[in-house]
Amino acid sequence: MRRYALMCTLMKGFDMQKMTVDDWLAPLKSRGLLPAELLAVYVVGSVARGWQNARSDFDIYVVSSGAEFQNSGYTIPVPLDPPFVPTETFYEADKRWEIKYWLDSQIDQMITKVSWEAYEAGMVAGTALTLTEELSLARLGNCLPLIDNDWLRKTQERLAGSAFRSFAVVRSLGAADNAVEDALGQMESGDLYSATISARLAFGHAIDALLEGEGEYGSHLPKWRANRFKAAAPSAISFEDYWAIETMQAYDSADPRAWITNVLTICQDIAMRVETS
């Protein structure tokens, strides 16, 4: 087992403190929450990225090769075999901990769904994976390993060699294009309120495609888009220009046509810069 020194802030009544691997695993061990045939345990979500705040949960994925973990919590339905992901929650150190139990066979099935064979066969990008599946794969690239026996590294390499990136980019580009068409039609009809909303949606999808092209996934969680942008640092648009549009700094409510037109032009320019494969 390789050990990693992990830093996090326990803000509700706790000072900044250093959490070791043992600190992370002790609450799971004491509650009997580590199954046999363990392959990997890793922290995911905002804490893994260093984006946590005082109200952030601790999210941990546990991967094993044996039979599904028999838990007393609830399960999340997934279109896999077996068709559910057991989940346990508890509170420790004033924090809510959520543990999800994946089988390596389930991870294998998800990566197979986004193979190059599936992509080239014309699998529709937005239907290849459910939200739960996509998020679980997206988190593989930015997690904090607690138990590492090469399973994580090999799985990350397999995911990187799949069409996951292409599926995500094509999905977001398609959503951006649809929103651009909506905005143009709404603006032509004089419905500037709806055109404004559609332009904002188009911009969000275009930025998501740009970030996914850089390997920064998570478009289903727009609350982290600015952080993902800073992490990816794409060359197609500066953070300042991105943030000006995200926060509608130049928007003129009396005559929004110029703002809408500019945003849609930027969306189309971004789309031209993003490679889909």
Do 94 and 34 lie in one domain? The reply is yes
**CATH code for the domain in which residue 74 is found:** 3.30.460.10
Of 130, 162, 194, the residue at which a domain comes to its end is 162
Q: Are residues 155 and 190 in the same domain?
A: no
- 95-103 and 84-92 beta bridge pairing: antiparallel
pTM for the full predicted model: 0.89
Residues whose CB is less than 8 angstroms from the CB of residue 125 and which lie 6 or more positions away in sequence, other chains included: 166, 167, 168, 170, 171, 174
Give the range with max mean pLDDT: 15-29, 61-75, 238-252.
238-252
Torsion, CA 113, CA 106, CA 136, CA 110, rounded to 10: 0
Domain boundary among 102, 132, 162: 162
User: What are the two backbone dihedrals, phi and then psi, of residue 29, each rounded to the nearest 5 degrees?
Assistant: -65, -45
Residue 121 covered by a domain: yes
Of 112, 127, 162, which residue sits at a domain end?
Answer: 162
Instruction: Using the structure block, give the residue that is written with the tokens 């980019």.
Output: 169
Q: Are residues 108 and 15 in the same domain?
A: yes
212 in the same domain as 125: no
- In which band, very low, low, confident or very high, does the pLDDT at 13 lie, cut at 50, 70 and 90? very low
Whether residues 111 and 201 share a domain: the answer is no
**248 shares a domain with 196:** yes
Both 66 and 38 in a single domain? yes
- For residue 100, report the phi and psi dihedrals to the nearest 5 degrees: -110, 135
179 and 190 housed in the same domain: yes
Position 70 in a domain? yes
Mean pLDDT to the nearest integer, 3-14: 36
Of the ranges 6-20, 33-47, 170-184, 240-254, which one carries the lowest mean pLDDT score? 6-20
Instruction: Give the integer Cα–Cα distance in Å for 10 and 49.
Output: 15
Query: pLDDT by residue (tens digit) across 133-179?
Result: 999 999 999 999 999 779 999 999 999 999 999 999 999 999 999 99
Q: Determine, yes or no, domain membership for 1.
A: no
Note whether 14 and 149 are same-domain residues.
Answer: yes
H helical segments located in 1-45: 21-30
Mean pLDDT calculated for residue range 100-105: 96
pLDDT range class, residue 242, cuts 50, 70, 90? very high
Residue 40 has pLDDT above 90, yes or no: yes
Instruction: Please check whether residues 209 and 262 belong to one and the same domain.
Output: yes
Cis status, amide bond into 256, omega within 30 of 0: no
Q: How many domains does the chain have?
A: 2
Could you tell me which of 44, 38, 50 has the C-alpha nearest to residue 24?
A: 44
Q: Does residue 103 fall inside a structural domain?
A: yes
In-domain check, residue 112 = yes
pLDDT at residue number 69: 64
Does 133 lie in the same domain as 254?
Answer: no
Residue range(s) defining the domain that contains residue 28: 6-162
